[in-house]
Amino acid sequence: MTRLAFQPSLDGQSQPSHDGPSRLSLDGLRVAVTGGTSGLGLALVEALDGHGAHVAFVARREKLVTEVASRHPNTHGIVGDVSRKEDTHRIAMRIAAALDGLDVLINNASSLGPVPLALLADTDCEDLEEALATNVVGPFRLTKALLGALAAAAREGRPALVINVSSDAAVTPYSGWGAYGASKAALLHMSRIWDAELERHGVRVVALDPGDMDTPLHAAAVPEADPTTLKRPADAAAEIVARIEAFLRHETPHEARHEAVTASA
């Protein structure tokens, strides 16, 4: 069967909106989100589903996966651990089967490493290994396992994009954030290299920092933080969806590919 190229439709073209730029419908865009049951990942699942995308999401706790999937019956919940090598191919196959391919992979699931946060000298090797396994090696394996699906999407004239969720800790050496910061720095640089290597195959890779959000991860890292001073995950998700829309319109300049999502939104 010949597949039609993805044709995003511009909402509001015939009736210009007075409250901002026209919004793209993401109808039929095939998106996978890791860590889709909490915080930013859950907000992404909800926003993408609301924009008409076909969404598959991954998390470890089966009960939460089932709950989110039943609240959003058009989405596909997959129980899996991105830090476990043994889970990678099963997760990738289930994503590709559920969505009949893949256009956008969002590597969002993350580990802080030691909780409470610890100075590097007090960090157990196992906690560093967990941060690296979840935040760098897991996204590497899953991206690698899904490259064929993404390259196929690009060949069919569809978008092909990987978004790796980064952090300001990737570039700023915050004391106590050593395991997390080192893993996010590696993820950021790996994203740049993937992007340089995959551009000729039509697959783009970006790293985006969503900013400090009111989520369980932030509460575990900074329990004393006032949640009212933090960004709502839904707002960060809306900014990432806007970035996907810009990508679909071929409007993402090279220098905007690896940065805070708010910086040039």
Ligand X SMILES: NC(=O)c1ccc[n+]([C@@H]2O[C@H](COP(=O)([O-])OP(=O)(O)OC[C@H]3O[C@@H](n4cnc5c(N)ncnc54)[C@H](OP(=O)(O)O)[C@@H]3O)[C@@H](O)[C@H]2O)c1
Contact residues toward ligand X (CB under 6 A) are: 34-41, 58-61, 64, 81-83, 108-111, 134, 165, 167, 209-210, 212-213, 215-218, 233
Residue 211: helix, strand or coil by DSSP?
A: coil
Q: Which residues are catalytic?
A: 180
Q: Which is nearer to ligand X, 108 or 158 (CB)?
A: 108
Q: Which is nearer to ligand X, 37 or 143 (CB)?
A: 37
Other CB atoms within a 10 A radius of the CB of residue 199 amount to 12
Could you tell me the smallest distance in angstroms from the CB atom of residue 53 to ligand X? Answer: 18
Helix (H, G, I), strand (E, B), or coil: what is residue 59? strand
Residue 24 vs 139, nearer CB to ligand X: 139
In eight-state DSSP terms, residue 170 is G
CB of 69 to ligand X, least distance (A): 13
| Closer CB to ligand X, 216 or 223, in the complex | 216
* Closest separation in Å from C-beta 240 to ligand X: 10
**Listing from the earlier edge strand, what are the strands of the sheet with 76-79?**
76-79, 54-59, 30-34, 104-107, 161-165, 204-209, 258-260
The answer to whether the CB of 40 falls within 8 A of the CB of 237 is: yes
Nearest distance from residue 168's CB to ligand X, in Å? Answer: 7
Residue 151 or 217 having the CB closest to ligand X? 217
Q: Please state, in angstroms and as integers, the Cα–Cα distance from residue 105 to each residue in 55, 65, 165, 232, 256, following that order.
A: 10, 18, 11, 22, 18
The one-letter amino acid at 38:
S
Question: In degrees rounded to 5, what are phi and psi of residue 208?
Answer: -125, 135
Q: Could you tell me the smallest distance in angstroms from the CB atom of residue 5 to ligand X?
A: 31
- Residue 12 beta carbon to ligand X: minimum distance, rounded to whole angstroms: 30
Considering all CA atoms of the chain, what is the largest pairwise distance in Å, rounded to the nearest integer? 61
In angstroms, how far is the first alpha carbon of the chain from the final one?
A: 38
Question: Based on CB atoms, which residue is closest to ligand X, 24 or 91?
Answer: 91
Q: Is 215 helix (H, G, I), strand (E, B) or coil?
A: coil
Tokens of 186: 């590696």
Closest CA relative to residue 108, chosen from 61, 162, 189: 162
